[in-house]
């Protein structure tokens, strides 16, 4: 029998103890899986078992944003995912595809996605940084890390270097808007552009409100 | 010579050590002062010295949202504000007005604002919970407190009690939307309603994105 969403969530409740936060929790995994399904439906030709495993296990090793080995997290997640999947009914001949998709999903790992599933998973996860959900996650992480919402002296960083560790709003220029250019699929691109436009409108509104 | 914004900010850098967070920092105080000025300009008749002192000193004692004596914070802030102002050139005959405005600004204190300045300061601070800035602050506090963004089983709390300590999105129904009804001035009400409408649109968008 194939693994289901419930199987993955039950496993994560054990495997992921204490590693989740507001931006990386079961709700995030469900949304990434939802994004994978949406993209796969429109793009066609994807192995859904590989995608489901990738979506639910891509953050299995969830290191804080400021951890020194943060760029290793996706490789460690891929290894942990394969170790767990090997003990289940998951098809052995698909383990390599899952491992590659998970390892390549991360921005900081710098691994090029070589398969259709890896490209879809990467897009699905990156869409999580954009739109209303992207902003909610951004500000939650900022609160958790003790960052300021924006630089009151220079919110748009017109007279200073961008610093998204200090100022949440800087993250839009540092990471969010450039992310759109890294989207691999046409479906993902369309969603990403619409979400990025909305984020830009949010920023304009915020700047008006703060005067 | 009258106290200026710079005087207050210099004082806060000393008086407020370690008490600021992403939602309660100098940027918040500047925005509240900006809101006070906007409301006072359109409503007329306010004592701007009292309002400036109130805006900059209203969170002087900033207790965490989960502190047991949280409802005392605004009274403690009022006392600390008066103690500090007494040592400056601030007019002694206006100290009581500042103290009342600060004590009454807080939702949890349950003190009715009895003066024009107290009503304006309360509105100015409550506007900070609404609009783009309100959401940024809401999610930052959620991240800081370890709350989830929303309940993935029931985001709108249709089959459970609202719980804004657990779920940031619940805070919209628990606190943000009801806040609009507590706004005292016509100018404040107009801004609050526009910001609340935008927050409602944000929520609709978020629900679409999370499927």
pLDDT per residue as tens digits for the range B162-190: 999 999 999 999 999 999 999 999 999 99
Q: Identify the CATH assignment for B1-118 out of 1.10.3210.50, 2.102.10.10, 1.10.10.10, 1.20.1070.10.
A: 1.10.3210.50
3 state SS of A139: helix
Assess contact for A37 and A74: CB atoms under 8 A.
Answer: no
pLDDT-based confidence at A68, cuts 50/70/90? confident
**pLDDT > 70: what percent of chain A?**
100
The pLDDT, as a whole number, for residue A182 is 96
Cβ-nearest to B136 among A27, A139, A141: A139
* Cβ-count burial A104-131 (b if 16+ within 10 Å, e if not): bbbeebebebebbbbbbbbbbbbbbbbb
d(CA A62, CA B72): 39
The pLDDT, as a whole number, for residue B63 is 81
Q: What are phi and psi of B24, to 5 degrees?
A: -135, 85
Nearest chain B alpha carbon to A151: B27
Assess contact for B167 and B150: CB atoms under 8 A.
Answer: yes
pLDDT-based confidence at A1, cuts 50/70/90? confident
Instruction: Tokens for B170, please give them.
Output: 């619940």
The pLDDT, as a whole number, for residue B126 is 97
pLDDT-based confidence at A149, cuts 50/70/90? very high
Put simply, the answer to whether B149 touches A135 (Cβ < 8 Å) is no
In chain B, ranges of CATH 1.10.3210.50 domains: 1-118, 130-211
Whole-model pTM: value is 0.95
Which pairs count as long-range contacts for A72-78, CB under 8 Å and 24+ apart, including other chains?
Answer: A72/A109, A73/A106, A73/A108, A73/A109, A74/A102, A74/A103, A74/A104, A74/A105, A74/A106, A74/A108, A74/A109, A74/A111, A75/A103, A75/A109, A77/A102, A77/A103, A78/A102, A78/A103
The pLDDT, as a whole number, for residue A206 is 98
d(CA B203, CA B209): 10
User: Tens digit of pLDDT per residue, chain B (211 long)?
Assistant: 799 999 999 999 999 886 778 888 999 999 999 999 999 999 999 999 999 999 999 999 988 777 888 889 999 999 999 999 999 999 999 999 999 999 999 988 889 999 999 999 999 999 999 999 999 999 999 999 999 999 999 999 999 999 999 999 999 999 999 999 999 999 999 999 999 999 999 999 999 999 8
d(CA B152, CA B31): 33
Chain A environment of B152 (Cβ under 8 Å): 26-27, 30
pLDDT higher than threshold 90 for residue A168: yes
The pLDDT, as a whole number, for residue A198 is 98
Chain A environment of B131 (Cβ under 8 Å): 205, 209
Average predicted confidence (pLDDT) for chain A: 95
Mean pLDDT value across residues A156-179: 97
Assess contact for A182 and B59: CB atoms under 8 A.
Answer: no
Put simply, the answer to whether B135 touches A140 (Cβ < 8 Å) is no
Cβ-nearest to A209 among B21, B30, B132: B132
Q: Could you tell me how far CA A118 lies from the centroid of its own chain?
A: 13
The pLDDT, as a whole number, for residue B23 is 87
Instruction: Tokens for B113, please give them.
Output: 């604002």
Angle of helix B95-105 relative to helix B116-126, nearest 10 degrees, comes to 40
Q: Which residues contact A85 (CB under 8 A, 6 or more apart)?
A: A53, A57, A95, A98
d(CA B107, CA A107): 43
Nearest chain B alpha carbon to A205: B132
The pLDDT, as a whole number, for residue A98 is 98
Size of interface A-B (CB pairs under 8 A): 119
Q: What are phi and psi of A24, to 5 degrees?
A: -135, 85
The pLDDT, as a whole number, for residue B33 is 98
First to last CA, chain A: 58
Nearest chain B alpha carbon to A136: B139
Q: Which ranges constitute the DSSP H helices of A21-63?
A: 26-43, 48-57
Mean pLDDT value across residues A1-19: 89
pLDDT-based confidence at A19, cuts 50/70/90? confident
Architecture label for domain B130-211: Orthogonal Bundle (1.10)
d(CA B39, CA A177): 35
Tell me the C-alpha to C-alpha distance, in Å, between residue A20 and each of A8, A17, A25, B50.
15, 7, 5, 46
Q: In the block, which residue shows the tokens 């969830």? A: A62
């Amino acid at each position: 029998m194939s693994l289901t969403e419930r199987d993955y969530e039950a496993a994560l409740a054990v495997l992921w103890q204490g590693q989740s936060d507001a931006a990386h929790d079961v709700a995030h995994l469900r949304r990434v899986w939802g994004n994978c399904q949406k993209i796969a439906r429109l793009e066609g030709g994807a192995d859904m078992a590989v995608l489901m495993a990738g979506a639910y296990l891509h953050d299995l090793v969830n290191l804080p944003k400021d951890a020194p080995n943060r760029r290793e997290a996706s490789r460690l997640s891929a290894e942990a995912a394969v170790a767990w999947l090997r003990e289940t009914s998951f098809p052995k001949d698909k383990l390599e595809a899952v491992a590659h998709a998970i390892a390549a999903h991360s921005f900081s790992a710098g691994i090029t996605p070589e398969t259709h599933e890896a490209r879809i998973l990467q897009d699905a996860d990156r869409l999580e940084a954009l739109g209303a959900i992207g902003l909610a996650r951004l500000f939650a992480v900022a609160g958790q890390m003790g960052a300021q919402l924006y630089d009151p002296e220079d919110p748009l960083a017109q007279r200073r270097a961008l610093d998204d560790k200090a100022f949440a709003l800087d993250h839009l220029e540092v990471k969010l808007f450039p992310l759109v250019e890294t989207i691999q699929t046409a479906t993902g691109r369309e969603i990403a552009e619409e979400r990025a436009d909305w984020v830009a409108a949010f920023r304009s509104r915020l700047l008006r409100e703060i005067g």
